């Protein structure tokens, strides 16, 4: 009897996760606006929204996982929760290892500081010893490949340059869990190839990569597992090609339904027969 392969260690264990947004806190509040709101308030209008609800999910070391789905499906909210930026409204998230993400590094740059200074700042934020960060800095700068801009304020960077520097920092520290949100398509073809190669390298070191992207070719070519999300729920979890095919079918069906509704509403109403 052949031996069973050893079970892979669980990197992320999500049980009953729910993320709840209070819609009353998403609008700018002023005295005048509050008074107008009281007068116009629709008492039947919803006051809250569940971006994620009843989510159960496990991720294992050595996986590259693609999260796909329409806008508003909850993909980015899930990444924010995994990064610790959003706290669960219900349920639990247990993480075994260090999380690195462009959600906090790329988007969280100090705009007034140079790229080089932001590298040091990221190291402090991640509690990495400054000696180790000094050792990593040359390779981070080389990989980002933004030339003399490394010593210019980040506010002068394009979005692509910020993403490249953020990606370089996030992947240089060899995290246990790397969260990426629409970044592998950043930059020119050479940088895209280099970024994919680096993430593959992380995976070979038993790391977990969670990638949110609308580029489905990345999912089928790059990931070993794909999760389809809709309305804060997991619709399918499994083989990337099967998951992508299912997503495409659902998109086509939704489009046909929308076109049918539009056509029905566009047709003039049939004339009412005259009463004799």
Q: What are phi and psi of 60, to 5 degrees?
A: -115, 150
Instruction: Please report which confidence band the pLDDT of residue 185 belongs to, taking 50, 70 and 90 as the band edges.
Output: low
DSSP character at residue 79: H
Instruction: Please choose, from the candidates 158, 145, 142, 174, the residue with its C-alpha nearest in 3D space to the C-alpha of residue 109.
Output: 158
Report pLDDT digits (tens) over 93-108. Answer: 999 988 887 665 556 7
SS (H, E, C) 109-167: CCCCCEHHHHHHHHHHHCCCCHHHHHHHHHHHHHHHCCHHHHHCEHHHCCHHHHHHHHH
pLDDT at 32 over 50: no
Instruction: Give the pLDDT mean for 151-174.
Output: 88
User: What is the enclosing helix (H) or strand (E) of 15?
Assistant: strand 10-22
Instruction: Please report which confidence band the pLDDT of residue 190 belongs to, taking 50, 70 and 90 as the band edges.
Output: confident
Instruction: Please report which confidence band the pLDDT of residue 199 belongs to, taking 50, 70 and 90 as the band edges.
Output: confident
Reported pTM: 0.75
Average pLDDT, the chain: 83
pLDDT > 70: percent of the chain:
78
Q: What are phi and psi of 12, to 5 degrees?
A: -135, 130
Residue 239: strand pairing partners: none
């Amino acid at each position: 009897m052949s031996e069973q392969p050893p079970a892979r260690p669980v990197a992320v264990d999500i049980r009953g996760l729910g993320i709840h947004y209070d819609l009353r806190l998403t609008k700018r509040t002023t005295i005048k606006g509050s008074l107008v709101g009281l007068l116009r308030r629709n008492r039947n209008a919803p006051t809250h929204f569940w971006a994620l609800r009843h989510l159960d999910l496990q991720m294992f070391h050595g996986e590259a996982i693609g999260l796909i789905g329409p806008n508003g499906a909850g993909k980015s909210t899930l990444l924010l929760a995994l990064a610790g930026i959003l706290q669960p409204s219900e349920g639990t998230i247990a993480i075994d290892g260090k999380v690195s993400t462009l959600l906090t590094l790329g988007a969280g740059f100090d705009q007034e500081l140079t790229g080089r200074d932001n590298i040091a700042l990221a190291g402090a934020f991640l509690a990495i010893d400054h000696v180790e960060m000094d050792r990593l800095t040359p390779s981070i700068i080389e990989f980002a490949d933004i030339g003399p801009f490394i010593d210019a304020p980040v506010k002068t960077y394009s979005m692509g340059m910020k993403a490249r520097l953020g990606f370089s920092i996030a992947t240089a520290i060899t995290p246990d869990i790397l969260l990426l949100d629409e970044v592998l398509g950043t930059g020119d073809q050479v940088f895209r190839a280099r970024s994919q190669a680096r993430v593959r390298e992380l995976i070979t070191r038993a790391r977990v990569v969670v990638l949110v992207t609308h580029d489905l070719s990345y999912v089928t070519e790059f990931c070993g597992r794909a999760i389809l999300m809709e309305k804060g729920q997991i619709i399918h979890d499994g083989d990337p090609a099967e998951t992508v095919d299912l997503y495409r079918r659902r998109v086509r069906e939704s489009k046909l339904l929308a076109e049918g509704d539009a056509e029905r509403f566009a047709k003039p109403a049939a004339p009412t027969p005259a009463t004799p």
